[in-house]
Amino acid sequence: MHPAASIIAFTTLSGIGFGLLAFLGLGFPRVEGMSAFAFFAIAYLLAVGGLVFSTFHLGHPERALKAFTQWRTSWLSREGWASVLTLVVMAIFAAPLVFFGLRLAPIGWLGALASIGTVYITSMIYASIRSVPRWHHWSTSAMFIAYALSGGALLSGQVTVAIAFLVLTGIGQFAAWKAGDARFAAAGSTAGTATGLGGIGKVRLFESSHSEGNYLTKEMVFVIARKHATKLRSIALVLAFAAPVALLLLPFHHVMAALAVLSHLCGVLITRWLFFAEAEHTVSLYYGRTAA
């Protein structure tokens, strides 16, 4: 799949933003007044900023409000509702905390649950797509939530929890990559089933339907830089998990913490790039490209 910058930014930033909101809702760190304002401002900037980026992906962003109508069937529509509702609930929790030092804890817990729920719903936009077998699996949601929790723990300064989540998410990501590599073949779609000619013999694209690229090949038959996947995966694991854990294990210093956050963010951006770039769509079978 085409790794569009707008969607990579959306899932990365809003994931971390909602992760931070979850921790703030649970009272980690237990801040009030201006320091609470600072934490919530960062969380809202990330979450809302991510959502704004997602609209850059639209051909007609001026019609974006229509996307709230089909929540009965569409995970993308549900994502819109979940984001707005979560941001409202967290605002109801944050405002008394910031301005009056009043902690309405149950609303915070509800907001935390809603934040993780929103990340789950975001993940289902991808996990529900059967034609991309690599995504069509519960581990897609598990990893989105794990990334949100890791980033949230890191940004909220929960050092021990952050280390634990980072290590677990790193191991989980490695396992998800390995399992994901085999999923296209396991789904059973081949050039034979795509054309229905597999019963006659081996099917090979003889001549493409068009000489140049088209929307389908650009959007869904993206293969550029897949050959660097192993290197990029290694770099991502180091930046997203190994380096932040090492920095957190050093004696605490704000510079180290900031570096850990920055490194994690860069690493997550690379994993999200890979999430799209490595995802094989069944339409590639009509273009003579098979899963490696």
Q: Please identify, using beta-carbon distances, which residue of 39 and 135 lies nearer to another protein.
A: 135
Whole-number Å distance between alpha carbons of 274 and 276: 5
Out of 187, 237, 239, 247, the only residue in the binding site for another protein (CB under 8 A) is: 187
Out of 34, 160, 178, 212, the only residue in the binding site for another protein (CB under 8 A) is: 212
- Cβ neighbours for 171, distance < 8 A, ≥ 6 positions apart: none
Instruction: Give SS3 for 28.
Output: coil
We find the least distance from the C-beta atom of residue 189 to another protein, in angstroms, to be 6
Out of 209, 227, 251, 255, the only residue in the binding site for another protein (CB under 8 A) is: 209
Is residue 188 part of the contact set for another protein (CB under 8 A)? yes
Angle between helices 75-100 and 105-127 (to 10 degrees): 160
Instruction: Say how many C-beta atoms besides its own lie within 10 A of residue 235's C-beta.
Output: 15
- Cβ neighbours for 76, distance < 8 A, ≥ 6 positions apart: 67, 125
Is residue 281 part of the contact set for another protein (CB under 8 A)? yes
We find the least distance from the C-beta atom of residue 143 to another protein, in angstroms, to be 19
Is residue 283 part of the contact set for another protein (CB under 8 A)? yes
Out of 72, 178, 227, 254, the only residue in the binding site for another protein (CB under 8 A) is: 72
Token pair recorded at residue 185: 């073949």
Out of 70, 179, 234, 250, the only residue in the binding site for another protein (CB under 8 A) is: 70
Q: Please identify, using beta-carbon distances, which residue of 39 and 126 lies nearer to another protein.
A: 126
We find the least distance from the C-beta atom of residue 185 to another protein, in angstroms, to be 12
Is residue 210 part of the contact set for another protein (CB under 8 A)? yes
Is residue 186 part of the contact set for another protein (CB under 8 A)? no
We find the least distance from the C-beta atom of residue 24 to another protein, in angstroms, to be 28
Instruction: Say how many C-beta atoms besides its own lie within 10 A of residue 256's C-beta.
Output: 16
Q: Which of 270, 289, 278 has its CA nearest to residue 180? A: 278
Is residue 195 part of the contact set for another protein (CB under 8 A)? yes
Q: Which amino acid is at 236?
A: A
Using CA atoms, how far residue 54 sits from 12, 50, 90, 291, in Å, is 11, 6, 21, 28
Is residue 223 part of the contact set for another protein (CB under 8 A)? no
Out of 214, 250, 253, 258, the only residue in the binding site for another protein (CB under 8 A) is: 214
Contact 17, 45 (CB under 8 A): yes
Is residue 57 part of the contact set for another protein (CB under 8 A)? yes
Whole-number Å distance between alpha carbons of 71 and 67: 8
- Stated as kind and residue range, the H or E segment containing 193 is helix 191-195
Is residue 74 part of the contact set for another protein (CB under 8 A)? yes
We find the least distance from the C-beta atom of residue 127 to another protein, in angstroms, to be 12
Span 117-176, contacts to another protein by CB under 8 A: 125, 128-132
Q: Which of 79, 59, 57, 56 has its CA nearest to residue 67? A: 79
Q: Which residues bind another protein (CB under 8 A)?
A: 1, 57-61, 63-64, 66-70, 72-77, 80, 125, 128-132, 187-189, 191, 193-197, 199-210, 212-216, 218-220, 281-283, 286
